Amino acid sequence: MQSISATPVLEYTAQIAAATAPIFERVKHVIPQVEWPVHAPYIAEIERLKKERNAVVLAHNYQTPEIFHGVADLSGDSLALARLAAETDADVIVLCGVHFMAETAKILNPGKTVLIPDLKAGCSLAESITGADVRLLRQRYPGVPVVTYVNTSAEVKAECDICCTSANAVEVVESLGAERVIFLPDEYLGQYVATQTDVELILWQGHCEVHERFTAAEIRSYRSGHQDVVVLAHPECPQDVLAEADYVGSTSGMIGYVGDHKPSRVVMITECSMSDNVAVEHPDVEFVRPCNLCPHMKRITLPKILHSLQTMTHAVEVAPQVAERARRSVERMLEVGRGVGR
């Protein structure tokens, strides 16, 4: 079987250059001109195949700019992608993110084909907990409702009462009207949510391998080198990192902050590609770029997206009995989170 890496390099022609010129004009200050002849043929062919397949590409904010701005039809954080997946009328969804996101899209669209370009695009946080772990927690804390971050597998979602994202976690926790809630699996996000509500949270020790690596000393070093820098941090970071930030919020919240406040210089304490993608929309803002990359997100590439559309692989499936229960948890989240994307 031919590997993706063995796929012939596509030719960069004058026709492709002209067709993709508007995209390059937007991204030229984050993608070097020398790289464009490599990306452009894939973008053009992916666009052609999307029309042929009636396909839509959903891309998370952590995807690289040539994907995020080059071929994505819909983009955003995990809350936005869940909403968009539920609303699309395309026959095929290509999820440019990690596996739990593709599962969520399939759960919300059981009759559609959902593809992920690389099956190995996983998530350390999602892998930190299983459905069996949730069942044991319910035995330990009978009657206590379970809130599960969407960064989890379908089997974990199926065992909880409601899902949440970093954008709507506080609203979801408080929507239950309970004095005590089991909050899974991100310990740092849970610690942050606990500072924003009077509800007692029982936490799990799961972490994101990107966000857990940031340190308070690192944030202070950014400030010492750039006196006027505004620090925006994702709540999956440790508490001492969040204490150093000027703003704490989801990826969509950070994007909103930059658009609303227009800081002259900003650092986003989250996955590296996020800064590149936001910089495209705000060329007047200087972005100090931390470079903590998500190795799983970076498994998604233009050649793999093209291969996925050409071969209709890899199709994501969720067992019906699991999907039905998980769907209830995700739909409850979407109902609570209406209008809370930022």
Q: Mean pLDDT throughout 194-214?
A: 97
Q: Taking every pair of C-alpha atoms in the chain, what is the biggest distance, in angstroms?
A: 66
Q: In what order do the strands lie in the sheet with 146-149?
A: 162-164, 146-149, 180-184, 200-203
Strand, coil or helix: 253? helix
Q: Mean pLDDT throughout 156-163?
A: 98
Structural domain includes residue 337: no
pLDDT for the residue 141: 98
- Distances in Å between the Cα of 151 and the Cα atoms of 24, 28, 79, 127, 237 are 32, 32, 10, 9, 15
Clarify whether residues 144 and 177 are in a common domain: yes
The Cα–Cα gap between 36 and 47 comes to 16
Residue with the two structure tokens 């849970």: 190
CATH (domain of 151): 3.40.50.10800
Clarify whether residues 28 and 97 are in a common domain: yes
- State the residue range of the domain holding 138: 126-208
Clarify whether residues 46 and 107 are in a common domain: yes
Concatenate the DSSP letters of all residues of 116-142 into one string. -S-TT---TTGGG--HHHHHHHHHHST
Clarify whether residues 116 and 170 are in a common domain: no
Above 90 in pLDDT, residue 7? Answer: no
Clarify whether residues 200 and 224 are in a common domain: no
233-286: per-residue pLDDT in tens? 999 999 999 999 999 999 999 999 999 999 999 999 999 999 999 999 999 999
Clarify whether residues 279 and 229 are in a common domain: yes
Distance of CA 118 to the CA centre of its chain: 15
Structural domain includes residue 336: no
Above 60 in pLDDT, residue 105? Answer: yes
Structural domain includes residue 218: yes
Clarify whether residues 8 and 64 are in a common domain: yes
pTM for the model:
0.93
Domain count, the chain: 3
Q: Mean pLDDT throughout 273-301?
A: 94
Clarify whether residues 134 and 167 are in a common domain: yes
Vertex 72 angle, CA 69 and 77, to 5°:
90
Clarify whether residues 18 and 95 are in a common domain: yes
Among 208, 226, 249, the domain boundary falls at 208
- Report residue 2's pLDDT band, with 50, 70 and 90 as the boundaries: very low
Clarify whether residues 18 and 74 are in a common domain: yes
134-146: per-residue pLDDT in tens? 999 999 999 999 9
Clarify whether residues 241 and 262 are in a common domain: yes
Helix axes 302-311 and 36-53, enclosed angle (nearest 10) = 30
